[in-house]
Chain A
Amino acid sequence: MIGVEHYVLVSAMVFIVGGVGFLVRRNVLVSLMSIEVMLNAANLALVAFNRSHLAHDPTQAYPGQSHTGQIFVFFIIAAEAAEVAVGLAIVLALYRLRRTVRSDEADLLKN
C-alpha cells in the first residue's frame, strides 16, 4: 500500500540530491537546475500532504475538501518561473562580462 510516507520519502531523497548538486557543481546553469530539482521535491511533498489532510477548514470560503497544499504549489510554480527568468538573465550578463559560467569566477563584489 502506498501512503503519504512513500511520497515524502521520495521527495526527501530528490531534495537531498538537488542540494548536493547545488553545493558541489560550479556551473551556474547546473546550480540553477539543482534549485529546480529542490523546488520540485518540495512541491511533491506539499501535494502529498494535501492529499492526506483533506479536512475542510471552516475559515475558508470554498466548501469542499481543502486544497491548501495545491494552492501553495501553484504559487511556487509561479515564483519559480520568475526566478528562472531572472536567474538566466543574470547568467547571460555574467557571461557577457566575464566570459564564464563558473560561479567561483563571479567575484565582482569581492574585496
Chain B
Amino acid sequence: MRTLDILYFYFFAACALGGSAAVVIAKNPIRGAMGLLLLILSVAALFLQLHAEFLAAIQLIVYAGAIVVLFLFVIMLLGPSATAAHDRRGIAVRTFSGSLFALAGVGAVAMVARTASPVRALPRVDSAFGGIEAFGSVLFSDALVPFEVSSALLMVAVIGAIAVARGRQGVHTLSKSERAITQSAPPVDPSGAGHPADPAAGAGVFSHEIHAGDTKGRTA
C-alpha cells in the first residue's frame, strides 16, 4: 500500500513535469494545449492523494472542461496563423532571461532542499476533510464574502470579454488611425513570403476581413 502511494506520486509528478515541458517546448499550440491538459489531469490526481477530492473535481470540470476547451477554440479559430512565424529576432535576450530565471529558481530549490529536515509523514485527516460537505460549510461561513465577490468578478470578466472580443464589425468601421495601422502591417505569412493574398492566412474565420481589408487598401 505504501509503495503504491509512492509509485502513484512519482508517476503523476513525472506526468505533471512532462505536461508543463510540453506546453513550453511544443511548436504547435494544439500540442501545447494537450500538454496543459496532461498537467491538469496529473495535478488533479495529486489533489486526490492530498485528500482534496472536491478540488480535484473542480480542477477537472473548470480546467479540463472549460479552460483547455476555450484555448482549443481560439487556436482553431485563428487557424494556421496561431503558429507564429518563427524568426530568430531577440532569441539571445529571451534565452538569457529564461535561463536566468531557471537558474534562480533551481538555486532557490536547491538551497531549500539542502537545509530541509527529514521528511515527516503527513498528519491524519478526518474522513470529511476535503469533501464537498466540509468544503461547502467553509465556503458559506468563513469565505462567504469572497465567494460573493468572485461571482461579481466572473460577471465583469464575461462582460469585458464580450466587449473586447466583439470589437467593431468589419474594417470599414475602424477609425482612421486604426485603419492606418491595419494597412501598414501586412498579414503575417507563416512561410515567410510576404504577399498579402496569402492562402495560409486566409484559412481562418477572419479571412473575409482580410480580403475586405485588402480590397480597401487597393481602392484607397
Interface residue ranges, A against B (CB under 8 Å): 1-7, 9-10, 12-21, 23-27, 29-30, 32-34, 36-37, 40-41, 43-44, 47-48, 50-52, 54, 60-62, 64-65, 67, 70-71, 73-75, 77-86, 88-93, 95-102, 104-105, 108
Given known A7-B50, A44-B46, A99-B188, contact A20–B141 (CB-CB < 8 A): no
Given known A21-B24, A54-B129, contact A62–B32 (CB-CB < 8 A): no
The 10 closest A-B pairs by CB, nearest first: A21-B24, A82-B157, A3-B119, A16-B105, A89-B165, A24-B98, A89-B161, A61-B141, A89-B164, A85-B161
Q: Which residue of B113, B125, B188 is within 8 Å of A9 (Cβ)?
A: B113
Q: Is the CB of B165 within 8 A of A81?
A: no
Q: How large is the interface on B (under 10, 10 to 19, 20 to 34, 35 or more residues)?
A: 35 or more
Q: Is the CB of A37 within 8 A of B90?
A: no
Does B199 lie at the interface of the complex (its beta carbon under 8 Å from any beta carbon of A)? no
Given known A10-B46, A102-B84, A108-B181, contact A60–B142 (CB-CB < 8 A): yes
Q: Which residue of A12, A24, A32, A82 is within 8 Å of B95 (Cβ)?
A: A24
Closest to A38 in B: B20
In the complex, how many angstroms separate the beta carbon of B107 from the nearest chain A beta carbon? 10
In the complex, how many angstroms separate the beta carbon of B189 from the nearest chain A beta carbon? 10
Contacting A at CB under 8 A, from B145-175, are 146-147, 150, 153-154, 156-158, 160-162, 164-165, 167
Q: Is the CB of A3 within 8 A of B109?
A: no
In the complex, how many angstroms separate the beta carbon of B63 from the nearest chain A beta carbon? 7
CB-defined contacts of B164 to chain A, threshold 8 Å:
86, 89-90, 92-93
